[in-house]
C-alpha cells in the first residue's frame, strides 16, 4: 500500500508543467468586458497626453478622481465598530431605509406604510442581479425588456440569471434623442405583464431621457398593459444636479400606483465606486408581504456572497441620516453635475467654433455623465490611435473625463476624424439617407442593435 502510494505520487509529479494535462484545457479566454477593455487600452498607452473618456467615473477639472468631503466626514465619524457583526444588521437596515427615502421621497406613502422590501446590494450591478434572480425564481417564464441601447452589462446580468431579454426602441440615431413613438409602440405590443428595465435619469449610454410628460404617458401605458417597471437608478443627482428632480420618473410611477422595483447605486453620486454600495427595493402591498419578499431577497444574496460589505454601507447610511453631512453631499453632487454640464457646453461650443458642419446639439441636449456622440467605430478607433483619446466603441463619451484643459484638444480631435467624410455627413444630416435607418430598425423581440450615428453603409 505504502509502496504503491509513493509510486503514484512519483508518477504525478514527473511530468513537466507544460506537458501536463489540465482540467481546464477546454476553457477559452473570456471576451474582455468592453468598458474595461477601453481602460486597459488607455493604461497601456504610453502617450503623456492621453485621455480616458471610457469608464463612467467622475473626475474633477484636473482629471483626478475625487473623494467627496461628505465621505471623509462620514468616515471620521465611523470607527472600528463597523467590524462588529451585531451592528451590521442595524446599519444595513438604516441604509435601506435612507435609500428608500431618497428615491421614493421621505413623505411617500410607501415609506410611511413601510410597503417596501429592501436589502443593501453590491452597487447597481448587484442590485440588478439579485432582482434578476428573484424574477427568475418567481416568474420563471418571464423575459426582460431593455432599452435599445442600454448599459452593456445589463444583458450579462439577466443572462447569467437565465432570463431572456428583448429590447424596446429608445434612441433615435437621427435626432440623437428619444424615439418616443416607437418606444410607446413597443411597450404596447409587448405581452401584458412584461418586465421592463427603465433608466429614470441620465440614460447610460445615450444621455437621452424622456421628459416628464413622456414619463407620464409611459407610466399610463404601463398601467394599461400591467407591465412591471424595474428602475436602474445609477445617477440620481447627476442628471440635473438635484436628487429630487432626478427621481421624478419614479415619483410619477409611484403616484400612478405602480409597485415598482428599484436598483440604486451610490457609486457615482457619492463617489463610492470601489465600496460597492447600493440598494435593491421592491414595492409591496403591505408590510407583511414586504417581510416575506425581503426574506427571499436575503436568501438569494446569502448564497451569492453572504452579507454585503459594511464599510460602504456605513458611509452611505451616515451621510444620508446626518442632516449636516447630507446637506454637504447635496452640494457636492450639484458641483459634480454642474461641472459636467459646463463641459458639455464647452465641448459643443468648441466644435462649433472649429466650424464643424455637423450638428452637435446632442452634446448639450443629452444629460448625465455620458454623451452618445454619434461617432462611428472607425472614428472611435482613429481617435484612439491618432489622438490617444479613448472611449467605448459605440461612440459613448464619458463627459466626466473632459476638463477645461483638454476640451479644446478633444474638440479638435473629434473635428479631425469627422471631417474626412464631411460631404457624406452633411447629406446625412439633411435627411437624404434616412432610408438607411428605416431599413435597419428592428422589430420587437430581436436583439440586434441598429447602426447608429453617422455610420452609413455606402
Partner 1 sequence: MASSVFSLASATPSASLSSHDIEKGKLNLRNTSLCFKKEKNNPFMKTKSFGRISMVVASNVSRFEGITMAPPDPILGVSEAFKADNHELKLNLGVGAYRTEELQPYVLDVVKKADKLLLEKGENREYLPIEGLAAFNKVTADLLFGADNPVIKQQRVATVQGLSGTGSLRLAAALIERYFPRGEVLISSPTWGNHKNIFNDAKVPWSEYRYYDPKTVGLDFEGMIADIKAAPEGSFILLHGCAHNPTGIDPTPEQWEIIADVIQEKNHIPFFDIAYQGFASGSLDADAASVRMFVARGMEVIAAQSYSKNLGLYAERIGAINVVCSSPDAAARVKSQLKRIARPMYSNPPVHGARIVANIVGDAALFKEWNAEMEMMAGRIKNVRHKLFDSLSSKDKSGKDWSFVLKQIGMFSFTGLNKAQCDNMTNKWHVYMTKDGRISLAGLSLAKCEYLAGAIIDSYHNVS
Query: How far apart (Å, rounded) are the C-alpha atoms in residues 193 and 455?
Result: 36
| CB of residue 170 to partner 1, shortest distance in Å | 20
Residues sharing a CB contact under 8 Å with residue 91, sequence separation 6 or more, in sequence order: 82, 310, 313, 314, 317
List 93, 259, 321, 449, residue binding partner 1 (CB under 8 A): 259
By CB under 8 A, tell whether 274 contacts partner 1: yes
Please report, as residue ranges, which positions from 309 to 338 form the binding site for partner 1 (by CB under 8 A).
309-312
List 54, 118, 120, 126, residue binding partner 1 (CB under 8 A): 126
Q: For the stretch 381-409, what's the b/e string if a residue is b when 16 or more beta carbons lie within 10 angstroms of its beta carbon?
A: ebbbeebbbbbbbbbbbbbbbbbeebbeb
From the list 283-291, 338-346, 418-426, 434-442, the region that binds partner 1 by CB under 8 A is 283-291
Quick check: is 408 catalytic? no
From the list 213-221, 382-390, 399-407, 423-431, the region that binds partner 1 by CB under 8 A is 213-221
From the list 99-107, 181-189, 301-309, 447-455, the region that binds partner 1 by CB under 8 A is 301-309
Give the residue with the Cβ less far from partner 1, 29 or 355: 29
Quick check: is 151 catalytic? yes
| CB of residue 377 to partner 1, shortest distance in Å | 22
Distances (CA, A) of 406 to 50, 114, 371, 393: 10, 48, 16, 21
Please work out the total of residues on this chain that contact partner 1, with binding judged by CB under 8 A. Answer: 99
Residues sharing a CB contact under 8 Å with residue 323, sequence separation 6 or more, in sequence order: none
| φ and ψ of 178, to 5 deg | -85, 135
Grid coordinates standing for 52? 480616458
Asked if residue 260 has a cis previous peptide bond (ω within 30° of 0), the answer is no
Number of Cβ within a 10 Å radius of residue 153:
17
Catalytic residue selected from 165, 232, 246, 394: 232
First to last CA, the chain: 75
By CB under 8 A, tell whether 112 contacts partner 1: no
Query: How far apart (Å, rounded) are the C-alpha atoms in residues 378 and 395?
Result: 10
* Dihedral over Cα of 444, 450, 452, 456: its sign: negative
By CB under 8 A, tell whether 88 contacts partner 1: yes
List 77, 90, 106, 138, residue binding partner 1 (CB under 8 A): 138
Please report, as residue ranges, which positions from 144 to 173 form the binding site for partner 1 (by CB under 8 A).
153, 156-157, 159-160
Please report, as residue ranges, which positions from 221 to 240 form the binding site for partner 1 (by CB under 8 A).
223-224, 226, 228
List 38, 53, 71, 233, residue binding partner 1 (CB under 8 A): 71
Query: How far apart (Å, rounded) are the C-alpha atoms in residues 209 and 261?
Result: 19
Please report, as residue ranges, which positions from 345 to 364 form the binding site for partner 1 (by CB under 8 A).
none
Query: How far apart (Å, rounded) are the C-alpha atoms in residues 282 and 261?
Result: 4
From the list 198-206, 265-273, 332-340, 400-408, the region that binds partner 1 by CB under 8 A is 265-273
Please report, as residue ranges, which positions from 16 to 45 form the binding site for partner 1 (by CB under 8 A).
17-18, 20-31, 33, 36
By CB under 8 A, tell whether 57 contacts partner 1: yes
Any idea what DSSP says for residue 227?
P
**CA contacts within 13 A on the Cβ side of 422:** 8
Quick check: is 232 catalytic? yes
By CB under 8 A, tell whether 65 contacts partner 1: yes
| CB of residue 57 to partner 1, shortest distance in Å | 6
By CB under 8 A, tell whether 248 contacts partner 1: no
Catalytic residue selected from 94, 158, 176, 268: 268
Amino acid at each position: 500500500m505504502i509502496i504503491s502510494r509513493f509510486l503514484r505520487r512519483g508518477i504525478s509529479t514527473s511530468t513537466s508543467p507544460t506537458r501536463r494535462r489540465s482540467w481546464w484545457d477546454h476553457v477559452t479566454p473570456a471576451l474582455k468586458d468592453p468598458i474595461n477593455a477601453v481602460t486597459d487600452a488607455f493604461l497601456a498607452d504610453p502617450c503623456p497626453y492621453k485621455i480616458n473618456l471610457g469608464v463612467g467615473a467622475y473626475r474633477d477639472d484636473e482629471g483626478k478622481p475625487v473623494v467627496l468631503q461628505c465621505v471623509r466626514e462620514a468616515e471620521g465619524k465611523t470607527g472600528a465598530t463597523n467590524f462588529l457583526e451585531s451592528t451590521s444588521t442595524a446599519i444595513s437596515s438604516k441604509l435601506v431605509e435612507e435609500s428608500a427615502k431618497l428615491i421614493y421621497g421621505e413623505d411617500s406613502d410607501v415609506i410611511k406604510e413601510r410597503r417596501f422590501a429592501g436589502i443593501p446590494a453590491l452597487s447597481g450591478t448587484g442590485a440588478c442581479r439579485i432582482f434578476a434572480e428573484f424574477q427568475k425564481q418567481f416568474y420563471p417564464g418571464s423575459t426582460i425588456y431593455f432599452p435599445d441601447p442600454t448599459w452593456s452589462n445589463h444583458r450579462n446580468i439577466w443572462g447569467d440569471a437565465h432570463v431572456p431579454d428583448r429590447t424596446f426602441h429608445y434612441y433615435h440615431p437621427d435626432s440623437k434623442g428619444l424615439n418616443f413613438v416607437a418606444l410607446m409602440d413597443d411597450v404596447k405590443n409587448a405581452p401584458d405583464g412584461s418586465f421592463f428595465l427603465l433608466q429614470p435619469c441620465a440614460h447610460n449610454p445615450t444621455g437621452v431621457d424622456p421628459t416628464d410628460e413622456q414619463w407620464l404617458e409611459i407610466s399610463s401605458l404601463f398601467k394599461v398593459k400591467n407591465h412591471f417597471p424595474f428602475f436602474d437608478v445609477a445617477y440620481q443627482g447627476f442628471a440635473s444636479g438635484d436628487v429630487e428632480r432626478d427621481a421624478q420618473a419614479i415619483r410619477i410611477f409611484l403616484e400612478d400606483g405602480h409597485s415598482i422595483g428599484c436598483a440604486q447605486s451610490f457609486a457615482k453620486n457619492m463617489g463610492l465606486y470601489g465600496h460597492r454600495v447600493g440598494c435593491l427595493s421592491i414595492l409591496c402591498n403591505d408590510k407583511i408581504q414586504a417581510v416575506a419578499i425581503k426574506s427571499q431577497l436575503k436568501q438569494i444574496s446569502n448564497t451569492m456572497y453572504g452579507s454585503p460589505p459594511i464599510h460602504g454601507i456605513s458611509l452611505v447610511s451616515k451621510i444620508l441620516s446626518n442632516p449636516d453631512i447630507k446637506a454637504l453631499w447635496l452640494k457636492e453632487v450639484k458641483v459634480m453635475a454642474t461641472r459636467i454640464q459646463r463641459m458639455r457646453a464647452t465641448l459643443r461650443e468648441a466644435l462649433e467654433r472649429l466650424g464643424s458642419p455637423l450638428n452637435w446639439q446632442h452634446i448639450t441636449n443629452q444629460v448625465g455623465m455620458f454623451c452618445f456622440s454619434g461617432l462611428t467605430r472607425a472614428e472611435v478607433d482613429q481617435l484612439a490611435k491618432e489622438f490617444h483619446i479613448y472611449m467605448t466603441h459605440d461612440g459613448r463619451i464619458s463627459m466626466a473625463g473632459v476638463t477645461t484643459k483638454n476640451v479644446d484638444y478633444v474638440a479638435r480631435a473629434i473635428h479631425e476624424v469627422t471631417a474626412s467624410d464631411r460631404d457624406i455627413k452633411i447629406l446625412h444630416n439633411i435627411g437624404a439617407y434616412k432610408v438607411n435607418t428605416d431599413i435597419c430598425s428592428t422589430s420587437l423581440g430581436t436583439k440586434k442593435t441598429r447602426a447608429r450615428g453617422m455610420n452609413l453603409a455606402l
